[in-house]
């Protein structure tokens, strides 16, 4: 399990798994192991049930906090990004990334297109403020848009 604050949690497309990322530089994929039907008395409440989530995959590769995760539409891959300026794409059948994409600033968020042909990322911090889109087929940049960020504040992560 994570040893530092969790930054993002996402359900898989099939609804059977949870992906999470945290300040401990890890990405975890969990599945529900057991649900205890008998109520467990906790803090005076008699009607709480207990679920046990089991770590199915633990992905390590980021050098700093991982900020966001996103499932590809078919649920076989997971993208993660973070303060280390990297986007990792993980295949659920192995523990090594299928892609490691570097940018010039921290990557705040990632998102797959609905059919899984493209992966987009929001890059902020440092000199870089952009949206980058990669082709999944060869992991080459399809487009990089900086025009929409020219007047963006320097610290958008903290100005919500």
Task: Domains for the chain: give ranges and CATH numbers.
Answer: 6-149 (2.130.10.10)
* Geometric angle at alpha carbon 80, from 75 and 85, rounded to 5°: 155
SS3 100: strand
The two tokens of residue 154 are 């320097």
pLDDT, tens digit only, all 160 positions of the chain: 899 999 999 999 999 999 999 999 999 999 987 666 555 555 556 666 667 889 999 999 999 999 999 999 999 999 999 999 999 999 998 878 999 999 989 999 999 999 999 999 999 876 778 999 999 999 999 999 888 766 666 555 544 3
């Amino acid at each position: 399990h994570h040893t530092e604050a969790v930054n993002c949690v996402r359900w898989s497309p099939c609804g059977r798994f949870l992906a999470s990322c945290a300040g401990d530089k890890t990405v975890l994929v969990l599945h529900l192991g057991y649900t205890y039907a008998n109520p467990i008395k906790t803090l005076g409440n008699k009607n709480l049930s207990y679920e046990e989530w089991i770590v199915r995959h633990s992905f390590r590769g980021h050098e700093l906090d991982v900020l966001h995760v996103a499932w590809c539409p078919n649920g076989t891959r997971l993208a993660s990004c973070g303060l280390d300026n990297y986007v990792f794409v993980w295949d659920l059948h192995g523990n090594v990334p299928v892609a490691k994409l570097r940018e010039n600033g921290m990557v705040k968020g990632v998102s797959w297109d609905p059919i899984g042909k493209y992966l987009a990322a929001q890059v902020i911090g440092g000199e870089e403020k952009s949206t980058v889109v990669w082709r999944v087929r060869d992991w080459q940049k399809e487009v990089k848009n900086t025009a929409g960020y020219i007047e963006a504040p320097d610290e958008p992560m903290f100005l919500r």
